[in-house]
Structure 1
Amino acid sequence: MNGSGPRVAILGFHLEANAFAPPSEKGDFIAQCWEEGDGISALARSVSHLPAEIPGFYQRMDALGPWTPVPLIVVGAPPGGPAAADVWRDFISQVESRLRAQGPVDGVYIANHGASSAVGVDDTEAQLARLIRSIVGPDVPVIATHDLHCNVSEETVASLDALVSYRTNPHVDQRERAAEAADLLHEVFEGERLVTAYIRLPITPPSVTLSTHQGPYADIVRRAETMMQPKGQGPIAVVSAASGFVFSDLPKCGMTVTVTARGDLAAARRAALELARDVWKDRGRYIANTIDVAKAVELAAKAEQPLLFADVADNPGGGGGGNTTWLLEAFDRARVPGVTLGVFVSPEVAAKAHEAGVGGEFQAVFNAQPGSYTQRYEARAKVLCLTDGNGVGRRGILRGRKFSLGASALIELCDSGMQVVVGSLRRQLAEPAMLEMHGLDISRLHILIVKSRGHYRAGFDEFFPNERIHDVDSPGLTTPNLSQIHFKRLPRPVWPLDQDAAWIEPEWD
């Protein structure tokens, strides 16, 4: 360490890769986050578009004492297909060249999503971790944070000193987990030795069953938290119970337990095995509770209180296009009063709305070029509001972060009066500001349809309590009905797709 405190390299790659979605191109990253070099530090200490872990890490490191940040590169794109080959080559090349150019560092912090992949590279996290370890050597601590929907491989864990995954779903604890990573780095700086035990189980539960407020996964996360011991009070430093992301369709998919201990590998293994047994014993509780489109229309038509319906099968937060019309068409044709839907992703409709201007009418053509899950639907529409789509989140996963929908509009379908927020960039409706920026008062909405899997719950809980929320299944890239998906590389047998799935416990000495 030098006179300015420890030099810590900072980098991150945020992409939740859905194998069934089109590849994520450079433009997808640039539209959300592609930052290189020293400018990252200024962004991390201001309101910015950086992943929330980055400012959280800076804030904690600043509080712990003098240090020298060595920011390399931080990129992120909306959940989508595997990163295009050239995107990954660019990123990994920049990591290597920038880290080598900076000279020796005392620690490395990686803020990854953890469920990424690239065209031609299944395990991007392992490749990145191995590269960093090969450059910094065995004695420099390398600690990563991951989304809890991460697919963790044994190869990744082997190159890290610790893995810290989120413990909230919806994700509202990114800053806290980054602070935890900073604390662990400081423990190593002070002489602590970290060791890790890892277990992967043949379970790939539907994502709608993974709430950390209640249910089987909530129980597992709480159990993991009770196992962790503060510095000086026991060996178990961090327990990461990751649920995985099944739509990555990779051999490393599955729920994982990763336990990092202070020098005591036997303790780490005991804790990992104990928690993994709990996960396996509870596997039968991961059952999706959804309704179909017809039932949603029926409930909405007779609703006396405001209701929220989540279009979970078309979640842009899991790689969906945000443009299936199953719910849009059903509610419009049924003439259900007081319905608002967002965000429907259609650059073409948004552009037509901007061309027509506020108060203008036009023929809204949703999905002029239909796809595998997307059907064409037309309706006469009136433009109520136009925006550039740029805002700052105030609740949930986007609280205090900049976001962009691209050019956006609030339109009203003339026959039914249904309101639709249309955006140009693929974003899930998890943040109330996305509606409020279009002049909508959410407290006065009767029926709200959100294209989101679960993060909307942290954004809209002030308006819609759990008993007035319904998850709706329909054809889509992120359907919780996993039997509808034609998996090609998922390890089989796996629960719940295969009732005969079996788990063999590790044979540790």
Structure 2
Amino acid sequence: MPRDPAKKIAILGLMLESNAFAPVTTEADFRSRVLLRGEEILTDLASGEPKLPTEICGFVAAMNETATWVPAPILVGLVEAGGPLEHGFFRQCHEEMRQRLIAAMPIDGVYISNHGAMITTETKDPDGEIFAMVREVVGRDVPVVATLDLHGNVSERMVESADVIVAYRTNPHVDMLDRGREAARALQALFGGMQPESTMIRLPVTPPTVTLLTDEGPYADLINFGQSLIDDDILNVSILGGFAYSDTPKNGLAIIVTGRRRNGAAVRVARKIAAQAWSEYRRYTPLLTPLDAAVERVLAVAHDPALPAVILADVADNPGGGGNGNTMWIIEALHMAGATGVIAGVIYDPALAAEATSLGEGADFEAVFNRVEPDAFSRRFSVRARVKRVRDGDCVGRRGFYAGRKMNLGPTVLLDIGGIEIVVVSIRTQCADPIFLERMGLDIGKARAVVVKSRGHFRAGFNEFFTHDQVIEVDAPGLTSPILSRFDFKNLPRPVYPVDADVTWSVPA
């Protein structure tokens, strides 16, 4: 029996989670992480340790297993969360994607791998512009599927331009491979004649990041409720908590339901989920531990071996949310209190890493963190330190969010400032994987306290050392503070909870 003719599938994406209050993201930032074009994408996929987004790897694996197809690699970029993307570079990528897509025509299908919360220095919906461009080039009859981070801010243009949108369902994000596979299955269903119906409902709620965990809490309950409604009529339920710091008119908890047929089931399910979400919206209130209380806990743990060790999450300076990754409030407070048995990382300070590298292992010197203060959050901190270890930045993620992904942290050093050992890196990265500390010779299991620059992804990486009860989310200053009332939002749809206390809303008819 002859095989079905090979389907030609375009693969593209530009992944950035933009914090409107953070420094501008540039082309150099993408080049230091991932910026691949054409055949470079296939070469990376064929390597044993790809740098590409994990969902793309899942999509390709599923297509290889179940379909006869030919990939048409376009352009894929991935970078750590940061500020708005420099608009000129976005326009350059957008046009290159368009031209490469045109050159690849005719196309049978398209897979878009975006984050969903990107903004540029000039526009609030660049993700929507990419989606709309793809639809314009390939036409209405070519299936388009997309995956998004559950922190994406979804616009109507995105929903209208794609046939199926699949968002992550886990936070910490450990299901990207599965969601890529799900997108591949959706594309094959579209090839089989499925006529989907998608609908979106957005609520006036911008959940703080620490309230969006999916093991327990309000978001976990909502995700589980949505999944319980999937049946023969419903293909996918995606509930995106969004990313408040993008500060856009499309911010707000978004419910996207895709039905397998145009019979109104998607709308009915979306309304049911929206009603459930609104009935519990006040649960999205962050509860953090004051800095002085966190320091007291560390001191108690250090003096009493019978107490379980703790991990302090510097949620307000999370590079994974656009934080600088260099604020020293927690470390300075622990040092002033005489804390011992503490590991901290990873601190982004290229100048300090370069100086320590040049001095070499064993050198004692005055370590100056943030010698040029980028803002009021990242203030200067000077302390005597010893260089314990110098390494390059190449590694492969071991657990959780970065598992199996090739990473580069730039020149990296381990500094000892007494009772605290600090890992300093040269490429801004969220400390979501224990390998970032272990590769410097640190034994996490023997530490009494660990301080990580991460909001939540560290939970999946460090859960072999720390249970939920051992996690302390610290209230300190920073660009990613979960206390949203501290930010001067300009573009959020108002009123919106919890920025505003009094919000009224009802499920739209």
TM-score, normalization by structure 2: 0.97
Match of 1:256 in 2: 254
Match of 1:480 in 2: 482
Equivalences for 1:403-418 in 2 at 5 Å?
Answer: 403-413=407-417, 416-418=418-420
Deviations 1:394-449 (A, max 9, x none): 10000000111111111101xx3310000111101100110111011111111100
Alpha carbons 1:55, 1:175 under 8 Å: kept:
yes
1:430 and 1:249 map into 2 onto residues whose CA distance is 25
Match of 1:386 in 2: 390
Match of 1:243 in 2: 241
Match of 2:360 in 1: 357
2:53 and 2:230 map into 1 onto residues whose CA distance is 25
Match for residue 368 of structure 1 among 371, 374, 386: 371
Match of 1:439 in 2: 441
1:189 and 1:43 map into 2 onto residues whose CA distance is 27
Match for residue 61 of structure 1 among 50, 60, 63: 63
1:311 and 1:176 map into 2 onto residues whose CA distance is 29
Q: What amino acid is the match of 2:312?
A: F
- Report the CA distance between 1:305 and its aligned residue: 2.1
Of 3-12 and 153-162, the range deviating more from structure 2? 3-12
Alpha carbons 1:216, 1:286 under 8 Å: kept:
yes
Deviations 1:66-95 (A, max 9, x none): 100011000011100111012101110111
- Report the CA distance between 1:39 and its aligned residue: 2.3
1:36 and 1:94 map into 2 onto residues whose CA distance is 9
2:4 and 2:285 map into 1 onto residues whose CA distance is 55
1:272 and 1:120 map into 2 onto residues whose CA distance is 32
1:439 and 1:182 map into 2 onto residues whose CA distance is 41
Q: What amino acid is the match of 1:293?
A: L
- Report the CA distance between 1:264 and its aligned residue: 2.5
Alpha carbons 1:197, 1:265 under 8 Å: kept:
no
Deviations 1:351-372 (A, max 9, x none): 1110111111111001112222
Q: What amino acid is the match of 2:382?
A: E
1:110 and 1:129 map into 2 onto residues whose CA distance is 8
Match for residue 166 of structure 1 among 145, 165, 168: 168
Match of 1:325 in 2: 328
- Report the CA distance between 1:120 and its aligned residue: 1.0
Alpha-carbon RMSD:
1.2
1:112 and 1:467 map into 2 onto residues whose CA distance is 34
1:436 and 1:310 map into 2 onto residues whose CA distance is 18
Match of 1:129 in 2: 131
Q: What amino acid is the match of 2:389?
A: C
- Report the CA distance between 1:316 and its aligned residue: 0.4
Alpha carbons 1:35, 1:73 under 8 Å: kept:
yes
Alpha carbons 1:45, 1:55 under 8 Å: kept:
no
State whether structure 2 residue 341 is matched by structure 1 residue 343. Answer: no
Q: What amino acid is the match of 1:394?
A: R
- Report the CA distance between 1:288 and its aligned residue: 1.3
Match for residue 448 of structure 1 among 447, 450, 460: 450
1:90 and 1:175 map into 2 onto residues whose CA distance is 29
Q: What amino acid is the match of 2:31?
A: I
Match for residue 187 of structure 2 among 182, 185, 188: 185
SS where residue 264 of structure 2 aligns? helix
1:244 and 1:39 map into 2 onto residues whose CA distance is 31
Unpaired stretches in structure 2, ≥5 consecutive residues: 302-306
Alpha carbons 1:359, 1:384 under 8 Å: kept:
yes
Match of 2:293 in 1: 295
Deviations 1:41-65 (A, max 9, x none): 2312331111111111110000012
Percent identical pairs in the alignment equals 44
Deviations 1:237-280 (A, max 9, x none): 00000000000001100100000011134100000000011111
Match of 1:395 in 2: 399
Match of 1:489 in 2: 491
Count of paired positions: 501
Equivalences for 1:188-203 in 2 at 5 Å?
Answer: 188-203=190-205
SS where residue 491 of structure 2 aligns? coil
Unpaired stretches in structure 1, ≥5 consecutive residues: none
1:331 and 1:358 map into 2 onto residues whose CA distance is 24
Match of 2:304 in 1: none
Match of 2:11 in 1: 10
SS where residue 349 of structure 1 aligns? helix
- Report the CA distance between 1:506 and its aligned residue: 2.1
Match of 1:105 in 2: 107
Alpha carbons 1:354, 1:386 under 8 Å: kept:
yes
State whether structure 2 residue 40 is matched by structure 1 residue 39. Answer: yes
Match for residue 314 of structure 1 among 308, 313, 317: 317
- Report the CA distance between 1:289 and its aligned residue: 2.1
1:29 and 1:156 map into 2 onto residues whose CA distance is 23
SS where residue 302 of structure 1 aligns? helix
- Report the CA distance between 1:154 and its aligned residue: 1.1
Q: What amino acid is the match of 2:391?
A: T
1:430 and 1:312 map into 2 onto residues whose CA distance is 12
- Report the CA distance between 1:286 and its aligned residue: 1.2
1:501 and 1:320 map into 2 onto residues whose CA distance is 29
1:350 and 1:323 map into 2 onto residues whose CA distance is 12
Match of 1:21 in 2: 22
Of 372-381 and 163-172, the range deviating more from structure 2? 372-381
TM-score, normalization by structure 1: 0.97
Of 384-393 and 41-50, the range deviating more from structure 2? 41-50
Moved over 4 A (4+): none
1:45 and 1:222 map into 2 onto residues whose CA distance is 35
